Chains A and B, each alone.
Chain A
Amino acid sequence: MFMGYSLGEIGSIFAMQAFAGLILFSVFVLMALGLAIIFGQMGVINMAHGEFMILGAYMTFLTSHLFQTYAPQAFAGYFFVAMLVAFVASGAIGLAVEWLLIKRLYKRPLDTLLATWGLSLIMQQAFRSIFGAREVGVQLPDWMMGSLQVTDTIEVQINGLFVMTLTLMITAVVALLLFRSRWGLQVRAVVANRVMADAAGIDTRRIDRLTFGLGCGIAGIAGSAFTMIGSTSPTAGQAYIVDTFLVVVFGGAQSLLGTIASAFTISQSQSTLEFFLTGSMAKVTTLLIVIGLLMLRPQGLFVLKVRK
Protein backbone atom coordinates (compact mmCIF):
# COMPACT_ATOMS: atom_id res chain seq x y z
CA MET A 1 0.00 0.00 0.00
CA PHE A 2 3.01 2.27 0.26
CA MET A 3 3.77 1.86 -3.45
CA GLY A 4 4.01 4.96 -5.52
CA TYR A 5 4.85 7.35 -2.70
CA SER A 6 8.31 8.74 -2.07
CA LEU A 7 9.71 8.49 1.42
CA GLY A 8 9.22 12.21 2.03
CA GLU A 9 5.65 12.04 0.84
CA ILE A 10 4.96 9.13 3.15
CA GLY A 11 6.41 11.14 6.01
CA SER A 12 4.11 14.05 5.22
CA ILE A 13 1.14 11.75 4.85
CA PHE A 14 1.79 10.25 8.23
CA ALA A 15 2.20 13.65 9.82
CA MET A 16 -0.93 15.07 8.18
CA GLN A 17 -3.03 12.08 9.04
CA ALA A 18 -1.66 12.19 12.56
CA PHE A 19 -2.88 15.74 12.98
CA ALA A 20 -6.13 14.93 11.26
CA GLY A 21 -6.55 12.18 13.83
CA LEU A 22 -6.21 14.63 16.70
CA ILE A 23 -9.92 15.31 17.07
CA LEU A 24 -10.73 11.63 16.82
CA PHE A 25 -8.07 11.09 19.46
CA SER A 26 -9.68 13.73 21.67
CA VAL A 27 -13.13 12.23 21.29
CA PHE A 28 -11.72 8.79 22.07
CA VAL A 29 -9.84 10.01 25.11
CA LEU A 30 -12.79 11.87 26.57
CA MET A 31 -15.22 9.05 25.86
CA ALA A 32 -12.82 6.42 27.15
CA LEU A 33 -11.99 8.46 30.22
CA GLY A 34 -15.63 8.54 31.24
CA LEU A 35 -16.19 4.89 30.38
CA ALA A 36 -13.00 3.83 32.14
CA ILE A 37 -13.67 5.55 35.45
CA ILE A 38 -17.19 4.14 35.49
CA PHE A 39 -15.99 0.66 34.52
CA GLY A 40 -13.06 0.78 36.92
CA GLN A 41 -15.16 1.97 39.82
CA MET A 42 -18.36 0.03 39.34
CA GLY A 43 -17.57 -2.74 36.86
CA VAL A 44 -20.37 -1.36 34.73
CA ILE A 45 -20.24 -0.85 31.00
CA ASN A 46 -22.45 2.03 30.07
CA MET A 47 -23.73 1.13 26.61
CA ALA A 48 -25.51 4.47 26.44
CA HIS A 49 -22.21 6.30 26.71
CA GLY A 50 -22.36 7.23 23.03
CA GLU A 51 -25.79 8.74 23.57
CA PHE A 52 -24.48 10.84 26.45
CA MET A 53 -21.86 12.09 24.03
CA ILE A 54 -24.52 12.91 21.44
CA LEU A 55 -26.51 14.68 24.13
CA GLY A 56 -23.45 16.88 24.63
CA ALA A 57 -23.25 17.41 20.88
CA TYR A 58 -26.90 18.53 20.77
CA MET A 59 -26.25 20.85 23.70
CA THR A 60 -23.33 22.34 21.80
CA PHE A 61 -25.55 22.76 18.77
CA LEU A 62 -28.24 24.45 20.86
CA THR A 63 -25.75 26.76 22.53
CA SER A 64 -24.24 27.83 19.22
CA HIS A 65 -27.75 28.52 17.97
CA LEU A 66 -28.66 30.60 21.00
CA PHE A 67 -25.45 32.61 20.72
CA GLN A 68 -26.01 33.22 17.03
CA THR A 69 -29.53 34.46 17.66
CA TYR A 70 -29.19 36.39 20.89
CA ALA A 71 -25.53 37.27 21.33
CA PRO A 72 -23.76 37.18 17.99
CA GLN A 73 -21.05 39.54 19.31
CA ALA A 74 -20.03 36.86 21.86
CA PHE A 75 -20.10 34.02 19.35
CA ALA A 76 -16.31 33.66 19.41
CA GLY A 77 -16.51 32.35 22.94
CA TYR A 78 -19.59 30.19 22.67
CA PHE A 79 -17.64 26.95 22.58
CA PHE A 80 -16.50 27.30 26.16
CA VAL A 81 -20.06 27.87 27.32
CA ALA A 82 -21.23 24.97 25.17
CA MET A 83 -18.79 22.59 26.79
CA LEU A 84 -20.00 23.61 30.21
CA VAL A 85 -23.63 23.17 29.18
CA ALA A 86 -22.82 19.78 27.64
CA PHE A 87 -21.02 18.67 30.79
CA VAL A 88 -23.83 19.77 33.08
CA ALA A 89 -26.61 18.30 30.94
CA SER A 90 -24.98 14.90 30.39
CA GLY A 91 -23.74 14.79 33.96
CA ALA A 92 -27.15 15.58 35.42
CA ILE A 93 -28.87 12.93 33.34
CA GLY A 94 -26.09 10.54 34.26
CA LEU A 95 -26.75 11.14 37.95
CA ALA A 96 -30.43 10.51 37.43
CA VAL A 97 -29.79 7.31 35.48
CA GLU A 98 -27.47 6.00 38.16
CA TRP A 99 -30.09 6.67 40.79
CA LEU A 100 -32.98 5.18 38.84
CA LEU A 101 -31.33 2.29 37.06
CA ILE A 102 -27.68 1.45 37.59
CA LYS A 103 -27.67 1.17 41.35
CA ARG A 104 -30.36 -1.48 41.15
CA LEU A 105 -28.17 -3.64 38.95
CA TYR A 106 -25.00 -3.59 40.97
CA LYS A 107 -23.12 -6.93 40.66
CA ARG A 108 -24.95 -7.88 37.46
CA PRO A 109 -22.60 -6.47 34.82
CA LEU A 110 -24.10 -8.33 31.86
CA ASP A 111 -27.61 -7.23 32.78
CA THR A 112 -26.42 -3.67 33.20
CA LEU A 113 -25.07 -3.88 29.70
CA LEU A 114 -28.50 -4.81 28.37
CA ALA A 115 -30.33 -2.24 30.49
CA THR A 116 -28.05 0.60 29.40
CA TRP A 117 -28.51 -0.54 25.81
CA GLY A 118 -32.24 -0.13 26.37
CA LEU A 119 -31.50 3.31 27.77
CA SER A 120 -29.54 4.15 24.64
CA LEU A 121 -32.54 3.23 22.46
CA ILE A 122 -34.78 5.47 24.54
CA MET A 123 -32.32 8.34 24.34
CA GLN A 124 -32.00 7.93 20.57
CA GLN A 125 -35.73 8.12 20.11
CA ALA A 126 -35.91 11.08 22.49
CA PHE A 127 -33.30 12.92 20.38
CA ARG A 128 -35.29 12.10 17.28
CA SER A 129 -38.52 13.37 18.79
CA ILE A 130 -36.94 16.56 20.13
CA PHE A 131 -34.34 17.49 17.54
CA GLY A 132 -35.62 15.62 14.50
CA ALA A 133 -34.04 12.78 12.58
CA ARG A 134 -32.06 15.14 10.37
CA GLU A 135 -28.34 15.55 10.95
CA VAL A 136 -27.35 18.88 12.40
CA GLY A 137 -24.00 20.62 12.14
CA VAL A 138 -22.41 23.28 14.26
CA GLN A 139 -20.82 26.44 12.97
CA LEU A 140 -17.38 27.14 14.32
CA PRO A 141 -16.29 30.66 15.33
CA ASP A 142 -13.86 32.20 12.87
CA TRP A 143 -10.78 31.86 15.01
CA MET A 144 -11.13 28.10 15.11
CA MET A 145 -11.31 27.78 11.33
CA GLY A 146 -8.34 27.39 9.08
CA SER A 147 -5.04 25.79 9.63
CA LEU A 148 -1.43 26.48 10.41
CA GLN A 149 1.08 25.88 7.65
CA VAL A 150 3.92 24.00 9.32
CA THR A 151 5.95 23.06 6.24
CA ASP A 152 5.20 23.12 2.52
CA THR A 153 3.38 19.83 2.68
CA ILE A 154 2.13 19.73 6.26
CA GLU A 155 -0.66 21.82 7.67
CA VAL A 156 -2.46 21.52 10.96
CA GLN A 157 -6.07 22.42 11.65
CA ILE A 158 -6.50 24.92 14.46
CA ASN A 159 -9.65 23.37 15.87
CA GLY A 160 -7.82 20.06 16.16
CA LEU A 161 -5.04 21.61 18.19
CA PHE A 162 -7.57 23.49 20.29
CA VAL A 163 -9.65 20.44 21.08
CA MET A 164 -6.61 18.37 21.86
CA THR A 165 -5.26 20.99 24.24
CA LEU A 166 -8.63 21.06 25.98
CA THR A 167 -8.75 17.29 26.15
CA LEU A 168 -5.37 17.10 27.76
CA MET A 169 -6.41 19.75 30.25
CA ILE A 170 -9.58 17.87 31.14
CA THR A 171 -7.60 14.67 31.49
CA ALA A 172 -5.18 16.46 33.78
CA VAL A 173 -8.07 17.74 35.87
CA VAL A 174 -9.52 14.25 36.16
CA ALA A 175 -6.11 12.90 37.11
CA LEU A 176 -5.80 15.62 39.75
CA LEU A 177 -9.25 14.81 41.06
CA LEU A 178 -8.43 11.12 41.20
CA PHE A 179 -5.09 11.45 42.89
CA ARG A 180 -5.43 14.61 44.97
CA SER A 181 -9.06 15.07 45.94
CA ARG A 182 -11.04 13.41 48.69
CA TRP A 183 -13.40 12.00 46.06
CA GLY A 184 -10.45 10.49 44.22
CA LEU A 185 -9.11 8.92 47.37
CA GLN A 186 -12.49 7.38 48.04
CA VAL A 187 -12.83 6.18 44.46
CA ARG A 188 -9.46 4.50 44.64
CA ALA A 189 -10.40 2.94 47.94
CA VAL A 190 -13.60 1.55 46.46
CA VAL A 191 -11.78 0.22 43.39
CA ALA A 192 -9.22 -1.49 45.60
CA ASN A 193 -11.72 -3.07 47.98
CA ARG A 194 -15.36 -2.12 48.01
CA VAL A 195 -16.27 -4.02 51.15
CA MET A 196 -13.44 -2.49 53.15
CA ALA A 197 -14.24 0.95 51.83
CA ASP A 198 -17.81 0.48 52.95
CA ALA A 199 -16.66 -0.64 56.35
CA ALA A 200 -14.30 2.32 56.61
CA GLY A 201 -17.28 4.64 56.43
CA ILE A 202 -17.07 5.64 52.77
CA ASP A 203 -20.52 6.18 51.29
CA THR A 204 -19.90 3.92 48.31
CA ARG A 205 -23.38 4.60 46.90
CA ARG A 206 -22.67 8.30 46.77
CA ILE A 207 -19.26 7.71 45.22
CA ASP A 208 -20.83 5.48 42.57
CA ARG A 209 -23.36 8.14 41.71
CA LEU A 210 -20.78 10.90 41.50
CA THR A 211 -18.47 8.76 39.39
CA PHE A 212 -21.23 7.83 37.00
CA GLY A 213 -22.31 11.45 36.71
CA LEU A 214 -18.77 12.63 36.13
CA GLY A 215 -18.17 9.95 33.50
CA CYS A 216 -21.33 10.92 31.64
CA GLY A 217 -20.46 14.61 31.97
CA ILE A 218 -17.08 14.01 30.34
CA ALA A 219 -18.87 12.13 27.58
CA GLY A 220 -20.92 15.30 27.11
CA ILE A 221 -17.72 17.29 26.61
CA ALA A 222 -16.62 14.63 24.14
CA GLY A 223 -19.84 15.47 22.33
CA SER A 224 -18.75 19.08 22.03
CA ALA A 225 -15.53 17.92 20.39
CA PHE A 226 -17.47 15.47 18.27
CA THR A 227 -19.42 18.29 16.58
CA MET A 228 -16.19 19.21 14.80
CA ILE A 229 -15.63 15.85 13.13
CA GLY A 230 -19.10 14.56 12.50
CA SER A 231 -22.61 15.72 12.05
CA THR A 232 -24.84 15.14 14.99
CA SER A 233 -27.73 12.75 14.52
CA PRO A 234 -29.77 10.66 16.95
CA THR A 235 -27.86 7.47 16.19
CA ALA A 236 -24.38 8.90 15.66
CA GLY A 237 -23.28 7.86 19.15
CA GLN A 238 -23.98 4.17 18.69
CA ALA A 239 -20.96 3.65 16.49
CA TYR A 240 -18.63 4.89 19.19
CA ILE A 241 -19.36 2.55 22.05
CA VAL A 242 -17.44 -0.40 20.60
CA ASP A 243 -14.42 1.69 19.65
CA THR A 244 -14.39 3.36 23.01
CA PHE A 245 -14.66 0.17 24.92
CA LEU A 246 -11.80 -1.31 22.93
CA VAL A 247 -9.77 1.77 23.82
CA VAL A 248 -10.52 1.20 27.48
CA VAL A 249 -9.75 -2.51 27.47
CA PHE A 250 -6.70 -2.08 25.28
CA GLY A 251 -5.31 0.47 27.70
CA GLY A 252 -6.06 -1.62 30.76
CA ALA A 253 -9.18 -0.52 32.56
CA GLN A 254 -7.44 0.82 35.65
CA SER A 255 -4.79 2.95 34.05
CA LEU A 256 -5.33 6.57 33.08
CA LEU A 257 -2.11 6.83 31.10
CA GLY A 258 -2.89 3.52 29.45
CA THR A 259 -6.22 4.90 28.29
CA ILE A 260 -4.56 7.92 26.72
CA ALA A 261 -1.85 5.84 25.08
CA SER A 262 -4.34 3.37 23.69
CA ALA A 263 -6.70 6.12 22.46
CA PHE A 264 -3.71 7.63 20.70
CA THR A 265 -2.62 4.32 19.15
CA ILE A 266 -6.08 3.39 17.94
CA SER A 267 -7.09 6.79 16.60
CA GLN A 268 -3.75 7.27 14.88
CA SER A 269 -3.62 3.86 13.28
CA GLN A 270 -7.18 4.29 12.09
CA SER A 271 -6.58 7.71 10.64
CA THR A 272 -3.28 6.68 9.03
CA LEU A 273 -4.75 3.53 7.56
CA GLU A 274 -7.65 5.56 6.24
CA PHE A 275 -5.34 7.28 3.82
CA PHE A 276 -4.15 4.04 2.30
CA LEU A 277 -7.28 1.94 2.55
CA THR A 278 -10.89 2.93 2.29
CA GLY A 279 -12.41 4.22 5.54
CA SER A 280 -14.32 1.05 6.20
CA MET A 281 -11.36 -1.24 5.65
CA ALA A 282 -9.24 0.95 7.91
CA LYS A 283 -11.80 0.47 10.62
CA VAL A 284 -11.96 -3.28 10.08
CA THR A 285 -8.19 -3.55 10.17
CA THR A 286 -7.90 -1.47 13.34
CA LEU A 287 -10.61 -3.42 15.13
CA LEU A 288 -9.15 -6.75 14.12
CA ILE A 289 -5.66 -5.73 15.25
CA VAL A 290 -7.01 -4.57 18.60
CA ILE A 291 -8.99 -7.79 19.06
CA GLY A 292 -5.92 -9.80 18.12
CA LEU A 293 -3.77 -7.94 20.61
CA LEU A 294 -6.39 -8.40 23.29
CA MET A 295 -6.24 -12.14 22.76
CA LEU A 296 -2.51 -12.01 23.38
CA ARG A 297 -2.86 -9.79 26.42
CA PRO A 298 -6.41 -9.89 27.72
CA GLN A 299 -5.71 -7.73 30.73
CA GLY A 300 -4.77 -4.80 28.50
CA LEU A 301 -1.43 -3.36 27.59
CA PHE A 302 -0.77 -1.23 30.60
CA VAL A 303 -1.83 -3.06 33.68
CA LEU A 304 0.01 -4.09 36.79
CA LYS A 305 0.14 -7.63 38.02
CA VAL A 306 -2.17 -7.69 40.98
CA ARG A 307 -2.49 -10.26 43.70
CA LYS A 308 -5.79 -12.10 43.46
Chain B
Amino acid sequence: MPNNTDFVLAVEGVSVSFDGFKAVNDLSLYIDKGELRVIIGPNGAGKTTVLDLICGRTRATEGAISFKNQYIGGLKEHEIVKLGIGRKFQTPSIYEDLTVFENLEISFPRGRNVTGALFWKRSEEIIARVQEVARMIFLGDHIDRLAETLSHGQKQWLEIGMLLIQDPELLMLDEPVAGMSVSERRKTAELLKEIIKNRSVIVIEHDMKFVESIAHRVTVLHQGKVLAEGSMEAIQANPKVQEVYLGH
Protein backbone atom coordinates (compact mmCIF):
# COMPACT_ATOMS: atom_id res chain seq x y z
CA MET B 1 0.00 0.00 0.00
CA PRO B 2 1.17 3.55 -0.69
CA ASN B 3 1.67 5.80 2.27
CA ASN B 4 -1.54 7.23 3.58
CA THR B 5 -1.84 10.76 2.37
CA ASP B 6 -4.55 13.31 1.86
CA PHE B 7 -3.91 13.47 -1.84
CA VAL B 8 -6.70 12.31 -4.10
CA LEU B 9 -4.23 11.57 -6.82
CA ALA B 10 -0.51 10.93 -6.54
CA VAL B 11 1.58 10.50 -9.68
CA GLU B 12 5.10 9.62 -8.62
CA GLY B 13 8.17 9.44 -10.82
CA VAL B 14 6.24 8.33 -13.88
CA SER B 15 7.93 7.89 -17.25
CA VAL B 16 6.62 6.61 -20.53
CA SER B 17 8.42 6.24 -23.81
CA PHE B 18 7.16 5.62 -27.32
CA ASP B 19 9.69 3.99 -29.57
CA GLY B 20 12.59 5.56 -27.66
CA PHE B 21 10.98 8.97 -27.36
CA LYS B 22 10.24 9.89 -23.75
CA ALA B 23 6.85 11.59 -23.84
CA VAL B 24 6.75 11.82 -20.06
CA ASN B 25 9.95 11.79 -18.05
CA ASP B 26 10.09 11.19 -14.31
CA LEU B 27 7.00 13.25 -13.67
CA SER B 28 5.39 13.72 -10.28
CA LEU B 29 2.07 15.38 -9.62
CA TYR B 30 -0.08 15.54 -6.49
CA ILE B 31 -3.69 16.65 -6.48
CA ASP B 32 -5.47 17.59 -3.24
CA LYS B 33 -9.04 16.87 -2.42
CA GLY B 34 -11.22 19.58 -3.92
CA GLU B 35 -8.33 21.14 -5.81
CA LEU B 36 -8.62 22.51 -9.32
CA ARG B 37 -5.36 22.09 -11.15
CA VAL B 38 -4.64 23.48 -14.58
CA ILE B 39 -1.92 21.90 -16.69
CA ILE B 40 -0.44 24.09 -19.38
CA GLY B 41 2.53 23.71 -21.65
CA PRO B 42 3.56 24.00 -25.27
CA ASN B 43 2.47 21.42 -27.83
CA GLY B 44 4.10 18.05 -27.33
CA ALA B 45 4.86 18.76 -23.67
CA GLY B 46 3.07 15.54 -22.71
CA LYS B 47 -0.12 17.03 -21.26
CA THR B 48 -2.55 14.65 -22.91
CA THR B 49 -0.21 11.74 -22.23
CA VAL B 50 -0.40 12.50 -18.52
CA LEU B 51 -4.19 12.22 -18.64
CA ASP B 52 -3.86 9.03 -20.73
CA LEU B 53 -1.61 7.58 -18.02
CA ILE B 54 -3.98 8.42 -15.20
CA CYS B 55 -7.04 6.97 -16.89
CA GLY B 56 -5.30 3.80 -18.04
CA ARG B 57 -5.21 4.48 -21.76
CA THR B 58 -1.41 4.38 -21.76
CA ARG B 59 0.75 2.30 -19.45
CA ALA B 60 3.65 3.90 -17.63
CA THR B 61 7.06 2.34 -18.18
CA GLU B 62 8.19 3.47 -14.73
CA GLY B 63 6.68 5.02 -11.66
CA ALA B 64 3.46 4.68 -9.71
CA ILE B 65 0.05 6.28 -9.87
CA SER B 66 -2.33 6.03 -6.97
CA PHE B 67 -5.86 7.28 -6.50
CA LYS B 68 -7.14 7.70 -2.95
CA ASN B 69 -4.13 5.69 -1.73
CA GLN B 70 -4.77 2.80 -4.09
CA TYR B 71 -2.43 1.92 -6.93
CA ILE B 72 -4.21 2.17 -10.26
CA GLY B 73 -1.27 1.61 -12.57
CA GLY B 74 -2.33 -1.86 -13.71
CA LEU B 75 -6.07 -1.33 -13.85
CA LYS B 76 -8.14 -1.26 -17.02
CA GLU B 77 -9.89 1.91 -18.17
CA HIS B 78 -13.36 0.90 -17.02
CA GLU B 79 -12.07 -0.16 -13.60
CA ILE B 80 -10.45 3.23 -13.14
CA VAL B 81 -13.70 4.91 -14.15
CA LYS B 82 -15.57 2.86 -11.58
CA LEU B 83 -13.18 4.03 -8.88
CA GLY B 84 -14.29 7.57 -9.62
CA ILE B 85 -12.09 9.12 -12.29
CA GLY B 86 -13.83 10.75 -15.23
CA ARG B 87 -12.22 11.98 -18.42
CA LYS B 88 -13.32 14.35 -21.13
CA PHE B 89 -11.54 14.06 -24.43
CA GLN B 90 -10.09 16.81 -26.55
CA THR B 91 -12.49 16.33 -29.45
CA PRO B 92 -16.10 15.81 -28.40
CA SER B 93 -16.52 12.09 -27.87
CA ILE B 94 -20.16 11.18 -27.57
CA TYR B 95 -22.46 8.49 -28.95
CA GLU B 96 -23.60 10.08 -32.21
CA ASP B 97 -26.22 7.47 -33.05
CA LEU B 98 -27.99 7.78 -29.70
CA THR B 99 -30.22 10.52 -28.35
CA VAL B 100 -29.16 13.01 -25.70
CA PHE B 101 -31.22 11.07 -23.19
CA GLU B 102 -29.61 7.77 -24.10
CA ASN B 103 -26.13 9.30 -24.00
CA LEU B 104 -26.70 10.44 -20.45
CA GLU B 105 -28.48 7.24 -19.45
CA ILE B 106 -25.53 5.11 -20.58
CA SER B 107 -23.22 7.25 -18.51
CA PHE B 108 -25.30 6.77 -15.36
CA PRO B 109 -23.05 4.84 -12.98
CA ARG B 110 -25.22 1.75 -12.57
CA GLY B 111 -26.01 -1.39 -14.55
CA ARG B 112 -22.57 -1.48 -16.03
CA ASN B 113 -22.22 -5.25 -16.44
CA VAL B 114 -23.90 -7.37 -19.09
CA THR B 115 -26.86 -8.55 -17.02
CA GLY B 116 -27.32 -5.15 -15.44
CA ALA B 117 -27.54 -3.59 -18.88
CA LEU B 118 -29.81 -6.30 -20.25
CA PHE B 119 -32.38 -5.99 -17.47
CA TRP B 120 -32.03 -2.24 -17.05
CA LYS B 121 -35.15 -0.41 -15.98
CA ARG B 122 -35.61 3.33 -16.49
CA SER B 123 -36.72 4.21 -13.00
CA GLU B 124 -38.23 7.56 -12.04
CA GLU B 125 -35.03 8.40 -10.24
CA ILE B 126 -32.90 7.87 -13.33
CA ILE B 127 -35.24 9.80 -15.61
CA ALA B 128 -35.33 12.68 -13.15
CA ARG B 129 -31.56 12.72 -12.84
CA VAL B 130 -31.05 12.61 -16.61
CA GLN B 131 -33.47 15.50 -17.09
CA GLU B 132 -31.79 17.47 -14.34
CA VAL B 133 -28.36 17.03 -15.90
CA ALA B 134 -29.73 17.79 -19.37
CA ARG B 135 -31.05 21.10 -18.08
CA MET B 136 -27.72 21.90 -16.43
CA ILE B 137 -25.91 21.42 -19.74
CA PHE B 138 -28.44 23.61 -21.60
CA LEU B 139 -29.89 20.64 -23.46
CA GLY B 140 -33.16 20.33 -21.53
CA ASP B 141 -35.16 21.04 -24.70
CA HIS B 142 -33.13 18.70 -26.86
CA ILE B 143 -33.37 15.54 -24.81
CA ASP B 144 -34.71 13.35 -27.63
CA ARG B 145 -32.48 14.66 -30.37
CA LEU B 146 -29.89 12.43 -31.92
CA ALA B 147 -26.51 13.50 -30.63
CA GLU B 148 -25.10 13.73 -34.15
CA THR B 149 -27.49 16.57 -34.93
CA LEU B 150 -26.13 18.77 -32.10
CA SER B 151 -23.78 21.69 -32.74
CA HIS B 152 -20.12 21.39 -31.84
CA GLY B 153 -20.56 23.34 -28.62
CA GLN B 154 -23.63 21.32 -27.64
CA LYS B 155 -21.66 18.14 -28.16
CA GLN B 156 -18.98 19.45 -25.80
CA TRP B 157 -21.67 20.17 -23.23
CA LEU B 158 -23.18 16.76 -23.69
CA GLU B 159 -19.85 15.16 -22.99
CA ILE B 160 -19.45 17.27 -19.87
CA GLY B 161 -22.95 16.16 -18.88
CA MET B 162 -21.99 12.52 -19.39
CA LEU B 163 -19.15 13.06 -16.94
CA LEU B 164 -21.34 14.90 -14.53
CA ILE B 165 -23.86 12.09 -14.30
CA GLN B 166 -20.98 9.72 -13.56
CA ASP B 167 -20.30 11.87 -10.50
CA PRO B 168 -16.54 11.25 -10.44
CA GLU B 169 -14.33 12.32 -7.55
CA LEU B 170 -11.58 13.29 -9.94
CA LEU B 171 -12.54 14.95 -13.17
CA MET B 172 -10.07 15.39 -16.04
CA LEU B 173 -10.92 17.83 -18.80
CA ASP B 174 -8.82 18.04 -21.95
CA GLU B 175 -9.32 21.48 -23.53
CA PRO B 176 -13.00 21.81 -22.62
CA VAL B 177 -13.53 25.14 -24.43
CA ALA B 178 -11.64 24.33 -27.62
CA GLY B 179 -13.58 25.16 -30.77
CA MET B 180 -16.33 27.08 -28.99
CA SER B 181 -17.80 30.41 -29.92
CA VAL B 182 -17.41 33.31 -27.50
CA SER B 183 -20.89 32.95 -26.06
CA GLU B 184 -20.61 29.16 -25.80
CA ARG B 185 -17.29 29.68 -24.07
CA ARG B 186 -18.85 31.94 -21.47
CA LYS B 187 -21.67 29.48 -20.80
CA THR B 188 -19.18 26.63 -20.58
CA ALA B 189 -17.08 28.50 -18.05
CA GLU B 190 -20.19 28.92 -15.89
CA LEU B 191 -21.01 25.26 -16.32
CA LEU B 192 -17.51 24.19 -15.37
CA LYS B 193 -17.56 26.35 -12.26
CA GLU B 194 -20.78 24.58 -11.34
CA ILE B 195 -19.61 21.04 -11.89
CA ILE B 196 -16.17 21.35 -10.28
CA LYS B 197 -17.75 21.93 -6.90
CA ASN B 198 -17.06 19.17 -4.41
CA ARG B 199 -14.53 17.35 -6.54
CA SER B 200 -10.93 17.46 -7.67
CA VAL B 201 -10.36 18.58 -11.22
CA ILE B 202 -7.46 18.52 -13.67
CA VAL B 203 -7.88 20.79 -16.68
CA ILE B 204 -5.65 21.06 -19.72
CA GLU B 205 -6.16 24.40 -21.38
CA HIS B 206 -4.44 26.81 -23.73
CA ASP B 207 -6.78 29.72 -23.23
CA MET B 208 -4.99 31.82 -20.58
CA LYS B 209 -7.97 34.02 -19.80
CA PHE B 210 -10.01 30.95 -19.08
CA VAL B 211 -7.22 29.46 -16.99
CA GLU B 212 -6.91 32.63 -14.94
CA SER B 213 -10.61 32.61 -14.22
CA ILE B 214 -10.69 29.11 -12.78
CA ALA B 215 -7.29 27.86 -11.64
CA HIS B 216 -6.25 27.22 -8.06
CA ARG B 217 -2.79 25.98 -9.00
CA VAL B 218 -1.05 25.68 -12.32
CA THR B 219 1.46 23.07 -13.44
CA VAL B 220 3.62 23.85 -16.45
CA LEU B 221 4.86 20.87 -18.45
CA HIS B 222 7.74 21.05 -20.84
CA GLN B 223 9.29 18.12 -22.71
CA GLY B 224 7.59 15.59 -20.48
CA LYS B 225 8.75 17.18 -17.24
CA VAL B 226 7.29 19.57 -14.71
CA LEU B 227 8.85 22.92 -15.43
CA ALA B 228 7.10 24.90 -12.75
CA GLU B 229 4.19 24.65 -10.36
CA GLY B 230 2.37 27.26 -8.32
CA SER B 231 -0.26 29.95 -8.33
CA MET B 232 -1.20 31.68 -11.56
CA GLU B 233 0.65 34.87 -10.63
CA ALA B 234 3.80 32.99 -9.66
CA ILE B 235 3.71 31.04 -12.92
CA GLN B 236 3.20 34.13 -15.04
CA ALA B 237 6.18 35.76 -13.33
CA ASN B 238 8.39 32.69 -13.70
CA PRO B 239 11.25 33.44 -16.16
CA LYS B 240 11.65 29.77 -17.14
CA VAL B 241 8.02 29.61 -18.17
CA GLN B 242 8.29 32.82 -20.14
CA GLU B 243 11.29 31.41 -21.95
CA VAL B 244 9.48 28.22 -22.93
CA TYR B 245 6.44 30.07 -24.16
CA LEU B 246 8.13 32.98 -25.85
CA GLY B 247 11.65 31.80 -26.43
CA HIS B 248 11.13 29.64 -29.49
Per the CB under 8 Å rule, do A and B touch in the complex?
yes
User: A200 on the interface (CB 8 Å rule)?
Assistant: no
Q: In the complex, which of the residues A304, A305, A306, A308 contacts B57, with contact meaning CB atoms closer than 8 Å?
A: A308
A34 to B58, CA, bound (A): 33
A28 to B58, CA, bound (A): 35
| A307–B57 touching, CB < 8 Å | no
Tell me how far the C-beta of A307 lies from the nearest C-beta in chain B, rounded to whole angstroms: 4
Q: Give the residue name and chain of the A residue nearest to B21 (CB).
A: A307
User: B18 on the interface (CB 8 Å rule)?
Assistant: yes
A306 to B19, CA, bound (A): 6
Cβ–Cβ < 8 Å partners of B52 in chain A: 308
Tell me how far the C-beta of A188 lies from the nearest C-beta in chain B, rounded to whole angstroms: 15
Cβ–Cβ < 8 Å partners of A306 in chain B: 18-19
| B58–A304 touching, CB < 8 Å | no
Cβ–Cβ < 8 Å partners of B18 in chain A: 305-307
A305 to B16, CA, bound (A): 11
User: B218 on the interface (CB 8 Å rule)?
Assistant: no
User: B226 on the interface (CB 8 Å rule)?
Assistant: no
Q: Give the residue name and chain of the A residue nearest to B23 (CB).
A: A307
Cβ–Cβ < 8 Å partners of A308 in chain B: 52, 57-58
A199-219 interface (Cβ within 8 A of B): none
B194-208 interface (Cβ within 8 A of A): none
| A305–B58 touching, CB < 8 Å | no
Q: Is the interface of A mostly helix, strand, loop or mixed?
A: loop
Cβ–Cβ < 8 Å partners of B23 in chain A: 307
A257-308 interface (Cβ within 8 A of B): 304-308
Q: Give the residue name and chain of the B residue nearest to A307 (CB).
A: B18
Q: Give the residue name and chain of the A residue nearest to B58 (CB).
A: A308
Cβ–Cβ < 8 Å partners of A305 in chain B: 18-19
Tell me how far the C-beta of B247 lies from the nearest C-beta in chain A, rounded to whole angstroms: 25
A306 to B18, CA, bound (A): 6
A38 to B58, CA, bound (A): 29
A13 to B104, CA, bound (A): 65
Tell me how far the C-beta of A139 lies from the nearest C-beta in chain B, rounded to whole angstroms: 50
Cβ–Cβ < 8 Å partners of A307 in chain B: 18-19, 21, 23
Most buried by A among B18, B23, B52, B57: B18
Q: Give the residue name and chain of the A residue nearest to B49 (CB).
A: A307
Q: Give the residue name and chain of the A residue nearest to B52 (CB).
A: A308
B62-82 interface (Cβ within 8 A of A): none
Tell me how far the C-beta of B207 lies from the nearest C-beta in chain A, rounded to whole angstroms: 24
A306 to B23, CA, bound (A): 12
Cβ–Cβ < 8 Å partners of B19 in chain A: 304-307
A254 to B1, CA, bound (A): 42
Cβ–Cβ < 8 Å partners of B57 in chain A: 308
A183 to B227, CA, bound (A): 42
A307 to B19, CA, bound (A): 8
A307 to B46, CA, bound (A): 11
* Binary CB contact string for chain B from 38 to 58 against chain A (1 if under 8 A, 0 otherwise): 000000000000001000011
Given contacts A307-B19, A307-B21, A308-B58, could you give 8 more A-B pairs where the C-beta distance is less than 8 Å? A305-B18, A305-B19, A306-B18, A306-B19, A307-B18, A307-B23, A308-B52, A308-B57
B residues bordering A, Cβ < 8 Å? Answer: 18-19, 21, 23, 52, 57-58
Q: Could you show 12 A-B contacts with beta carbons less than 8 Å apart? A: A304-B19, A305-B18, A305-B19, A306-B18, A306-B19, A307-B18, A307-B19, A307-B21, A307-B23, A308-B52, A308-B57, A308-B58
6 interchain residue pairs of minimum CB distance: A307-B18, A304-B19, A305-B19, A305-B18, A306-B19, A306-B18
